[in-house]
Amino acid sequence: IGFAGGAGPGKGRDWFGPYPKIKDLDGPEDEYITDRLTTEAVAFIEEHQDQPFFMKIQHYAPHATIVATDDIVQRYVDQGRPNEKGRHNATYLARSESVDAGFGRLMTAIDDAGLRDRTIVVFFSDNGAVSWHGRNAPFRGEKKSFYEGGIRVPLLMRVPGVTEAGTVSDTPVNGIDFFPTLVELTGGDPAGRPGIRDGVSFVSALHSQDTLERAPMFWHHPALSRHYADIPPQGAVREGPWKLIDFYGDLKPDELYNLDEDPSEETNLAGQYPERVEAMRMLLEAHLDAVDAQRVEHLD
Percent of the chain's residues with pLDDT above 90: 59
Amino acid of residue 244: L
pLDDT of residue 29: 92
300: pLDDT strictly greater than 50: no
Q: What is the mean pLDDT of residues 264-271?
A: 98
pTM recorded for the entire structure: 0.87
Q: How far apart are CA 269 and CA 276, in angstroms?
A: 10
Residue 170 near residue 125 (C-beta atoms within 8 A): no
Could you tell me which residues are beta bridge partners of residue 244?
237, 256
Q: What pLDDT sits at residue 4?
A: 64
User: How would residue 299 be classed by pLDDT, with cut points 50, 70 and 90?
Assistant: very low
Across the range 106-120, mean pLDDT stands at: 97
Which residue did the predictor score with more confidence, 133 or 109?
109
pLDDT at residue 3, as a whole number: 57
Q: What is the mean pLDDT of residues 35-42?
A: 94
> Pairing relation of β-strands 155-158 and 217-221?
unpaired
Q: What value, to the nearest 5°, has the Cα angle with vertex 174 and ends 169 and 179?
A: 105
Rounded Cα distance between 199 and 183, Å, is 12
